[in-house]
A = this chain, B = another copy of it.
Amino acid sequence: MPRPGPRLRLVDVAERAGVSLATASRALAGREGVSEEVARHVRQVSRELGYVANPYARTLAGGASSTVGLIVHQIDDPYFSEIASGVLQVAAEEGLLVQIAHSGRDPENELRQLRHLIAQQVGIILIAGSGYDDPRVEAEARAELAGFQRAGGRVAVIGRHALGVDAVVPDNEAGGRAIGAHLLALGHRRIAIAAGTPGLTTVADRLAGVTAALAAHGHSPDDLAVVHSDFTRDGGRVATERILYHHPESTAIIALNDAMAIGVLSVLRSRRIPVPERVSVVGFDDVSVAADLAPSLTTVRLPMTDMGRMALTLALKPRSARPRRRPTGHTLVVRDSTGPVPAPGG
**Which residues of A does B touch, CB under 8 Å?**
1-5, 7, 50, 52, 54-57, 59-60, 62-67, 74-78, 81-82, 84-85, 88-89, 92, 97-102, 115-116, 118-121, 123-124, 147-148, 150-154, 233, 262-263, 265-266, 269, 288-289, 291-295, 305
Contacts and interface: CB of A to CB of B under 8 A. Distances in A.
Most buried by B among A77, A118, A147, A289: A289
Given A76-B305, A97-B99, A98-B99, A4 B151 contact: yes
A102 B75 contact: no
A289 B305 contact: no
A267 to B, nearest CB: 10
A151 B64 CA distance: 26
B121 A152 contact: no
Contact of A84 (B100, B150, B269): B100
A121 to B, nearest CB: 5
A88 B60 contact: no
A76 B78 contact: yes
Nearest to A66: B1
Contact of A119 (B52, B81, B294): B52
A102 B88 contact: yes
20 contacts: A1-B63, A2-B152, A3-B62, A3-B123, A3-B151, A4-B121, A52-B116, A56-B121, A57-B60, A60-B60, A76-B81, A88-B102, A89-B102, A97-B120, A98-B100, A233-B288, A263-B292, A265-B292, A293-B294, A294-B295
Nearest to A51: B119
Contacts of A116: 52
Most buried by B among A4, A52, A67, A124: A4
A302 to B, nearest CB: 14
Contacts of A97: 99, 101, 120
A2 B101 contact: no
Given A99-B97, A265-B292, A5 B151 contact: yes
B88 A84 contact: no
Q: Top 4 closest A-B pairs, CB basis?
A: A5-B151, A294-B294, A1-B64, A52-B119
Contacts of A85: 74-76, 102
A82 B92 contact: no
A289 B288 contact: no
A75 B88 contact: yes
A57 B115 CA distance: 18
Contacts of A81: 75-78, 81, 84
Nearest to A70: B100
